[in-house]
């Protein structure tokens, strides 16, 4: 029996119908920017395997550090115990996170990093006897697939079956250039009620809703108003973290810094699952008590797994090298030149870039949602050219690992331009 048949018998894949879909591609290995298939193809991973990969696949330095760690200490309970990789990683992260951040709480993925952030914020108020229970989020947000993170995300086709189980959240409209006045008014009306615990946002770029970019100065104003009204600000940097927007963190583009930050995806260079929620000393203060009831009673079996932390420390070292910073700059420049020379295409509704990320939205006759038929043209077109671009409906984006060479990125851009030349 073939591997794919065996897969179909026993495996259930994410975001994938169980009937009438193409067979999954069997990947036998990966190196640098390439995924190797069982039939001998080498596919450029232009989406960093769901936005997680930073330095290329199977990176020898990360592999070495992981294998050293697994032979020394593979895992230990993180309540009452600690270890070198977790301490070093917290120090590493705090040395580059916005200056107001003071503590690192570990979990194991992006959704749990957001869950932790929300619970941390709710209990911050609870511990001090305040009745602040509401959350404000931005229309179109994506914060993960667990119940808390779904609750603060966009409500739609993905969340409909779960709607009765999600808590109430107030959504401000997505801030475009021409509605900022209204959004500001909406926001001020809600925060001034005094019952808002937190404002959660994907800083500067909303990922899953289509790499939607918005004005950092406007976000700065929202954060500044939040501080005026004692509303905690949670920056979900699960996608934007670790250089994607050109700066190390999207929050580095801002004057006003968030109280809580969520990290995952690129944290381990895409090697292992790990989540981080960082926060300010002000938040920690509300938990400083010898009473167990004031403690943050949250944890996961694999909290701060030493192998995952070792992978993250190795990835951090690579990220801090001049070579990597230059690659981020080179990719950002190349993406913005690509956007400039394709701005006038009649078959594009929009084309935009932010740092190393580029997105193209196609004109469609009817459905422009995630369920757009366009996906069925786009995905195979690029895959047949050995390029992995996973469309979000009528939109494609390029979010490459930083090891992609100028030539390989040129190949991706050329394939997109070929599509633009040939599609109606
Ligand atoms: C992917 C993503 C998450 C969820 O992370 P998982 O590791 O997939 O649970 C949360 N927030 C943002 C902004 C993301 O892009």
Q: Is the pLDDT of residue 368 over 90?
A: no
Query: Which of 371 and 11 is assigned the larger pLDDT?
Result: 11
Task: Find, among 26, 103, 399, 92, the residue nearest to 268 by Cα.
Answer: 92
pLDDT band at 370 (very low <50, low <70, confident <90, very high): low
Q: Up-side HSE of residue 361: CA atoms within 13 Å toward CB?
A: 15
pLDDT of residue 230: 98
The predicted pLDDT at position 371 comes to 64
The pLDDT tens digits of the residues spanning 291-347 come to 999 999 999 999 999 999 999 999 999 999 999 999 999 999 999 999 999 999 999
Question: Where do the domains of the chain lie, and which CATH numbers do they carry?
Answer: 3-58+322-422 (3.90.1150.10), 62-319 (3.40.640.10)
Helices 306-320 and 60-72: angle between axes, nearest 10 degrees: 150
Nearest-atom number in ligand 1 for the CA of 50 is: 1
Average pLDDT on 68-90 reads 98
Phi, psi of 282 (to 5 degrees): -60, -40
Amino acid 366: pLDDT: 67
Count CB atoms within 10 A of the CB of residue 360.
Answer: 27
Backbone angles phi, psi at 336, to 5 degrees: -75, -30
Q: Are 88 and 310 in contact (CB under 8 A)?
A: no
pLDDT in tens, 387-423: 999 999 899 999 999 999 999 999 999 999 999 999 7
Please identify, by atom number, the ligand 1 atom nearest to the C-alpha of residue 273. 7
The beta strand positions in 108-195, using DSSP E, are 134-138, 170-172
pLDDT per position as a tens digit, 181-210: 999 999 999 999 999 999 999 999 999 999
* Residues 6 or more apart whose Cβ sits within 8 Å of residue 300: 107, 108, 112
Q: What is the dihedral of CA 260, 265, 268, 273, to 10 degrees?
A: 100
- Residue nearest atom 5 in ligand 1 by C-alpha distance: 110
Q: Are 219 and 204 in contact (CB under 8 A)?
A: yes
CA–CA dist 349, 107 (Å, integer):
39
Distance 247 CA to ligand 1 centre (A): 19
Report d(CA 313, CA 86) in Å as an integer. Answer: 9
Cα(274)–Cα(106) distance, integer angstroms: 8
Long-range CB contacts (within 8 A, 24+) of 376-379: 377/423, 378/419
Residues with CB under 6 A from ligand 1: 109-111, 114, 142-144, 202, 207-208, 236, 238-239, 264
Q: pTM for the complete prediction?
A: 0.97
Q: What is the DSSP code string of 264-329?
A: -GGGGTTSS--EEEEEEHHHHHTT-SS-GGGS-----TTTT-HHHHHHHHHHHHHHHSHHHHHHHH
Mutation test residue for ligand 1: of 140, 207, 262, the one with most atoms within 8 Å of CB: 207
Alpha-carbon distance 97 to 100, whole Å?
8
Tokens, residue 54: 């930073």
Q: Which of 50, 142, 147, 399 to mutate to test the pocket of ligand 1 (most atoms within 8 A of CB)?
A: 142
The tens digit of pLDDT for each residue in 253-267 reads: 999 999 999 999 999
């Amino acid at each position: 029996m073939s591997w794919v048949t065996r897969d179909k018998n026993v495996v259930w894949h994410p975001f994938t119908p169980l009937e009438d879909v193409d067979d999954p591609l069997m990947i036998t290995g990966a190196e640098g920017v390439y995924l190797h298939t069982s039939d001998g193809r080498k596919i450029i991973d232009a989406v960093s395997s769901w936005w997680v990969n930073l330095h290329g696949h199977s990176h020898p330095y990360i592999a070495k550090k992981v294998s050293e760690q697994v032979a020394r200490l593979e895992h230990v309970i993180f309540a009452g115990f600690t270890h070198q990789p977790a301490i070093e990683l917290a120090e590493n992260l705090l040395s580059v996170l916005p200056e107001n951040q003071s503590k690192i709480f570990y979990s194991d993925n992006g959704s749990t990093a957001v869950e932790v952030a929300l619970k941390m914020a709710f209990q911050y108020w609870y511990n001090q006897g305040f009745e602040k229970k509401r959350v404000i989020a931005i229309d179109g947000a994506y914060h993960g697939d667990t119940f808390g993170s779904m609750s603060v995300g966009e409500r739609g086709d993905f969340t409909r079956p779960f709607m009765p189980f999600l808590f109430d959240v107030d959504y401000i409209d997505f801030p475009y250039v021409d509605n900022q006045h209204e959004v500001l008014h909406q926001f001020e009306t809600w925060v001034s009620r005094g019952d808002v615990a937190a404002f959660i946002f994907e800083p500067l770029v909303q990922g899953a809703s289509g790499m939607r970019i918005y004005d950092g100065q406007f976000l700065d104003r929202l954060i500044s108003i939040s501080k005026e009204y004692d509303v905690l600000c949670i920056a979900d940097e699960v996608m934007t973290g670790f250089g994607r927007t050109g700066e190390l963190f999207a929050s580095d583009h801002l004057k006003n810094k968030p109280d809580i930050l969520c990290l995952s995806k690129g944290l381990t260079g895409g090697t292992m699952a790990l989540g981080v929620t960082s926060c300010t000393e002000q938040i920690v203060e509300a938990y400083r008590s010898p009473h167990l009831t004031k403690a943050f009673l949250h944890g996961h079996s694999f909290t701060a797994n030493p192998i995952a932390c070792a992978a993250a420390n190795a990835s951090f070292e690579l990220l801090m090298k001049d070579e990597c910073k230059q690659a981020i700059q080179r990719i950002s420049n190349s993406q913005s030149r690509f956007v400039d020379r394709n701005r006038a295409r009649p078959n594009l509704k929009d084309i935009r870039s932010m740092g190393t990320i580029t997105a193209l939205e196609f004109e469609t006759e009817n459905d422009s949602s995630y369920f757009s038929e366009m996906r069925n043209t786009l995905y195979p077109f690029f895959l047949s050219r050995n390029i992995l671009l996973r469309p979000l409906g009528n939109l494609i984006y390029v979010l490459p690992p930083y090891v992609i060479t100028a030539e390989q990125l040129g190949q991706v851009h050329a394939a997109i331009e070929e599509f633009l030349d040939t599609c109606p």
